[in-house]
Structure formats: structure tokens, C-alpha cells
């Protein structure tokens, strides 16, 4: 079974600084998807960024980028120019390539942004 | 396009009762998945419905069930509620092609907060 591990229960960053959230996963499959979701206090899960495992290029969405290391099974999220609105719980998630939409989530990392 | 909607947003029940939660996916999305979120267990997959058929199921007891209607709306039911069923129940929808493969992202609703007393 696939597992996702987020080893940082909580992180803090100063406004306008950069922070990196870690995620590792375990799978025997070669094709899959990886996601970062954000859950603010409203509890609404919001997609931050996604990565297809077959793509060597790291995904980027504005201030958010990932460092995808397939061999190491590592998928970290970098947030640049942190803003107060980035404060939330961040979840790393894995999904198989084919058939079905089951997401396997990590335990989450609480990100606090200091002004 | 309207997002995923879930009703009700909050629910309080007592042990032994049953509850039904509803989820309306984004228009055109045919896959609906349900997740349970608790402080102790985190986010756990309950089941997924596609074209009115359950095609994935998580490790939950038979008290948890669901269904999907022809308009893709989905309901989940929990019978004989236990205190441990108190959780945020999240629904997510995505577009999935007929072959069953899915390349699209899941979009989540705001959740239903269930409290069991």
C-alpha cells in the first residue's frame, strides 16, 4: 500500500520569506500523481499544485513550486514571498496513475506566517 | 462554474442514530469521492462513485455506505452512529473519462461537520 509522510508537523516563516515543506512517499508503481493541497481555517481544501510522475520538469504555479525527486520518492513544496494568506494546513497527497481517484494523504504540516 | 456543494454544513446526532450527507459535484464531473477527516486519523478515503457505481472503497466498516444518482449527485450514509464518527466529511469531484482513467484533479467541497453526542 502507498504511504505519504510529512515529517514537519508545524513550520513558521516570516512574511516575504521562502519556506519549504517536506513530503516523502512510498510506492512500487512508476506512474502516479502527486499533489499539494492547502486547507485554511475555513476547512476548504484547495489545490496548490500537482505533478505527474512521468514529467521530469518540476511543476510551478506562481509563488509555489515543487522539487520532485522520483528516485528518492521526495516531493517538497517551496513557497516564495510568503504572504499572510498562505497560513494554513498543507497536505501532500498521492494518487495512482490509473483507474480511480483515491487520494492518500500525509498527516499535514501547519504553516504559520509571521508579519 | 459552481463549485462542489455539500449539505448540510453542520450536523449534530446522538449515538445509534443514522445520518445522510449530500454532495453535488461540479457540473460535468462524474466522479465523486468521500473522505473522513479527524484529528487522530487525518484524512482517510471512504469511497468513490463513478457513473452510479462504487469503484473504490477504503477501509471503513459496513455502517458507511453511499450511492450516486444519475445526475452525479452523491449521498453517504452512516448507520448506528458512534462517538468516533465525529469528523469533517469531505466530498470531492473530478472529471473522469469513460475508460475509467482519470487525469484530472479532484476539487473539494466545504465539508460537513458531523458531531456525535
Question: What are A73-86's pLDDT values in tens digits?
Answer: 999 999 999 999 99
A19-55 per-position pLDDT tens digit: 999 999 999 988 899 999 999 998 999 999 999 998 8
Confirm if B69 and B50 have CB atoms less than 8 A apart: no
Q: Which residues 12-71 on chain B approach chain A with CB closer than 8 angstroms? A: 31, 33, 35, 42-45, 48, 55-56, 58
Asked if B43 and A105 come within 8 Å (Cβ–Cβ), the reply is yes
Would you call A90 an interface residue with chain B, using a CB distance cutoff of 8 Å? no
- CATH code assigned at A38: 2.60.40.10
A44, A102, A107 ranked by CB distance to B48: nearest: A102
For residue B32, what are the β-bridge partners? B49, B93
Q: Which residue of B has its CA nearest to A49?
A: B105
Task: Check: CB of residue B45 under 8 Å from CB of residue A103.
Answer: yes
Give the Å distances, CA to CA, from B59 to A51, B20, B47.
27, 19, 9
Cα separation, A98 vs A49, whole angstroms? 19
Contacts of A106 in chain B (CB under 8 A): 42
Per-window interface: A 93-112 vs B, CB < 8 A: 97-108
Measure in Å the smallest separation between the Cα of B23 and chain A Cα atoms.
14
**Residue B100 at interface with chain A, using a CB cutoff of 8 Å:** yes
Measure the CA dihedral A9/A29/B47/B27, to 10°: 90
The domain containing residue A86 runs over which residues?
A: 3-114
Q: What is the pLDDT of residues B16-53, one digit of tens each?
A: 999 999 999 999 898 999 999 999 999 999 999 998 99
Q: What is the pLDDT of residues A85-112, one digit of tens each?
A: 999 999 999 998 776 788 999 999 999 9
Q: How many domains does chain A have?
A: 1
Task: Answer positive or negative: Cα dihedral of B117, B82, B48, B37.
Answer: positive
Amino acid at each position: 500500500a502507498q504511504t505519504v509522510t510529512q515529517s514537519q508537523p508545524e513550520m513558521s516563516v516570516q512574511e516575504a520569506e521562502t519556506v519549504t515543506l517536506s513530503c516523502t512517499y512510498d510506492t512500487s508503481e512508476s506512474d502516479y500523481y502527486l499533489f499539494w493541497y492547502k486547507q485554511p481555517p475555513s476547512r476548504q481544501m484547495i489545490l496548490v499544485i500537482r505533478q505527474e510522475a512521468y514529467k521530469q520538469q518540476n511543476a510551478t504555479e506562481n509563488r509555489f513550486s515543487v522539487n520532485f525527486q522520483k528516485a528518492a520518492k521526495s516531493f517538497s513544496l517551496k513557497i516564495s514571498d510568503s504572504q499572510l494568506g498562505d497560513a494554513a494546513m498543507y497536505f501532500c497527497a498521492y494518487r495512482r496513475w490509473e483507474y480511480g481517484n483515491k487520494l492518500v494523504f500525509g498527516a499535514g504540516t501547519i504553516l504559520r506566517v509571521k508579519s | 462554474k459552481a463549485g462542489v456543494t455539500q449539505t448540510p454544513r453542520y450536523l449534530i446526532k446522538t449515538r445509534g442514530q443514522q445520518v445522510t450527507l449530500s454532495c453535488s459535484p461540479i457540473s460535468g464531473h462524474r466522479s465523486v469521492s468521500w473522505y473522513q477527516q479527524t484529528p487522530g486519523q487525518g484524512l482517510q478515503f471512504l469511497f468513490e462513485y463513478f457513473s452510479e457505481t462504487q469503484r473504490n472503497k477504503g477501509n471503513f466498516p459496513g455502517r458507511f455506505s453511499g450511492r450516486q444518482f444519475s445526475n452525479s449527485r452523491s449521498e453517504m450514509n452512516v448507520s448506528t452512529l458512534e462517538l468516533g464518527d465525529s469528523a469533517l466529511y469531505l466530498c470531492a469531484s473530478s472529471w473522469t473519462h469513460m475508460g475509467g482513467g482519470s487525469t484530472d484533479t479532484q476539487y473539494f467541497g466545504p465539508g460537513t461537520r458531523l458531531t456525535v453526542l
